[in-house]
Structure 1
Amino acid sequence: MSPTQGGQSGPSVTERVLGILSAFGPGAESLTLSGIARTAGLPLSTAHRLVGELAAWGALERGEDGRYRIGLRLWEVGALAPRSLGLRERAMPYLEDLYEATRQNVQLAVRDGHEVVYVERLAHPEAVRVFSRVGGRMPLNATGVGQVLLAFAPPAVQEEVLAGPLPALTPRTITDSGDLRRTLAAVRREGVAVCDGMVDLLSLSVAAPVRGEDERVVASLSVVVPSAGAEPRMIVPAVRAAARGISRALGAPSARRRPAGVVTPLPTAPADASP
């Protein structure tokens, strides 16, 4: 922290730069310099200097309209994140197969704290709309991939999320901790999550866990289909098979020894987490 007048500490240069980058997001993909300064809480002169340095490096790009956007250089660095890099490469053939089989939206996600982060998405132009995007975040309790990741998360993480608050995206989103606890127990038993209308009333998702070489759940994949007329039991086998294929590619021993289409969840939660 750098000293300021009165002996108080102000934000460091790193914190100011991160504040500038954090100003961008859904609905704020492009910003004026004054908009960046206002959102980041910086004097205009400071924002001008730091934004200029970020643009020179390639983290930001200035368009012909004078507005700034996230630059390709930052995307290149972000794409090297180890949890997404190797995972996406190994998962892509199975995601593509699942996409071809369903012609619906296929998603791959990991957990970051109490949120889901989407690392890949294949979207069919005629499929039901989805609100996820690569690099986007959603609450764990509201999504199929999130419920899978939470169900197999460390017990301490589960209890932190269950303590709330649990965000509601639609009237169907699970916001009661008791209901969510019972849902997570069912996900562990069945090895699959089915979320109907919890992100959007028009869509339903079926999600399954992806395991790494140490058998821990490292990701989750899902298919999102129209809620009206959906028959989850017809989708579950394909989702499970794709998740098992990715797990096998990641070196999960259980994915190698079990017959195709059979998933036996390995509980990581305390025994009293079951209903």
Structure 2
Amino acid sequence: MPWQAVPMANSRSGDSMTERIVRVLDTFTSERTMQTATEIARRTGLPSSTTHRIVGELIEQGLLERDDENRVRLGMRLWELALRGSSALRLRQAALPHMERVQVSIREHTQLAVLEHGEALFLERLSHPDAGANITRIAGRLPLHASSSGLVLLAFADPELRERVLTGPLRAVSSETVTDAHALRALLTSIRRRGYVAAPGSIEAVSTGVAVPVRDHGEVVAALSVVLPRETPPQPAVEALLSAAEGIQRDLRNSH
């Protein structure tokens, strides 16, 4: 079916049709993959009639799909459109072979994350069957100050964003998440100086996150990380990650 333009009229609340569509799509999470239109209306705060109309139009265009029980999920066409010319796809393709080598060596969780709308967004994760605890998921998000990947991304982020995060509030994800602005500022300075971070207990008490920056033509575009059992020395993982990051950077440079 050919694409049909959706009118861009504003609602009585002042939000545009685009904003309402985004609100509908944002109700889907890695844990909440199926919903009814009524559940979506409740979570968006939009009128039920408006939500049902938007959901129907998105289904017609293939951006949502409906199952036999009248529940909807994100459609394959949305995935297809997201991958066309995506910088995330290029980054993931360059990173995967190097992530696999880290995974063979470390045999835990190996992850790739990018900075997206003030959070760490995880593009890929490889896990060993016997790996320890890890709450991150592909397409999942974490606050920048609350994971090793996020700390690396925040350390090398635009200073304006860094100051905005430091202003707080800094939510504790675990009892060891750094929530003091002065301590966090010192940690970020250390990450920029050393070129990596080892963050024990920032997400879960039993784990240590280790992360390094990935650059594309000098700019930090991602964080590459592993999640280790708390008692595991981080240095072998640091060395494996730094080597992998160099390989990813080389492949990104050659892909232009």
Which of 228, 232, 247 does residue 230 from structure 1 map onto? Answer: 232
Q: 2:208 matched to which residue of 1?
A: 204
Which of 233, 243, 249 does residue 251 from structure 2 map onto? Answer: 249
User: What displacement does 1:21 show?
Assistant: 0.8
Q: Secondary structure at the match of 2:70?
A: coil
Q: 2:136 matched to which residue of 1?
A: 132
Question: What amino acid sits opposite 1:138 in the alignment?
Answer: L
The number of residues matched between the two structures is 247
Is the alpha carbon distance of 1:126 and 1:3 closer, same or farther for their aligned partners in structure 2, counting shifts above 3 Å? Answer: closer
What stretches of structure 1 of length at least 5 have no aligned partner? 253-275
Q: Which moved more, 1:242-251 or 1:167-176?
A: 242-251
Q: Deviations over 1:100-148 (max 9, x none)?
A: 1111110001112321111111122221121111211111111111111
Which of 211, 219, 230 does residue 216 from structure 1 map onto? Answer: 219
Question: What amino acid sits opposite 2:104 in the alignment?
Answer: E
Q: Answer yes or no: is 1:11 the counterpart of 2:15.
A: yes
Q: Answer yes or no: is 1:170 the counterpart of 2:174.
A: yes
Question: What are the residue-to-residue correspondences of 1:96-175 with 2, within 5 Å?
Answer: 96-175=100-179
- Check conservation: 1:33, 1:68, Cα contact below 8 A: yes
Q: Answer yes or no: is 1:43 the counterpart of 2:82.
A: no
Report the TM-score, using the length of structure 2 for normalisation: 0.90
Q: 1:263 matched to which residue of 2?
A: none
Q: 1:25 matched to which residue of 2?
A: 29
Q: Deviations over 1:207-232 (max 9, x none)?
A: 0111111x1111110011111x2101
Q: Secondary structure at the match of 1:168?
A: coil
User: What displacement does 1:26 show?
Assistant: 4.0
Is the alpha carbon distance of 1:185 and 1:11 closer, same or farther for their aligned partners in structure 2, counting shifts above 3 Å? Answer: closer
Is the alpha carbon distance of 1:38 and 1:9 closer, same or farther for their aligned partners in structure 2, counting shifts above 3 Å? Answer: closer
Question: What amino acid sits opposite 1:248 in the alignment?
Answer: R
What stretches of structure 2 of length at least 5 have no aligned partner? 1-7
Q: Answer yes or no: is 1:55 the counterpart of 2:59.
A: yes
Q: 2:83 matched to which residue of 1?
A: 79
What percentage of residue pairs aligned between the two structures are identical? Answer: 43
Question: What amino acid sits opposite 2:203 in the alignment?
Answer: V
User: What displacement does 1:190 show?
Assistant: 1.1
Q: Secondary structure at the match of 1:206?
A: strand
Is the alpha carbon distance of 1:45 and 1:155 closer, same or farther for their aligned partners in structure 2, counting shifts above 3 Å? Answer: closer
Q: 2:5 matched to which residue of 1?
A: none
Is the alpha carbon distance of 1:134 and 1:81 closer, same or farther for their aligned partners in structure 2, counting shifts above 3 Å? Answer: farther
Alignment partners' CA distance in 1, 2:25 and 2:70: 17
Q: Deviations over 1:77-110 (max 9, x none)?
A: 2233633011111111101111111111100011
- Check conservation: 1:105, 1:124, Cα contact below 8 A: yes
- Check conservation: 2:10, 2:17, Cα contact below 8 A: no
- Check conservation: 1:2, 1:10, Cα contact below 8 A: no
Report the TM-score, using the length of structure 1 for normalisation: 0.84
Alignment partners' CA distance in 1, 2:85 and 2:200: 31
Is the alpha carbon distance of 1:3 and 1:248 closer, same or farther for their aligned partners in structure 2, counting shifts above 3 Å? Answer: closer
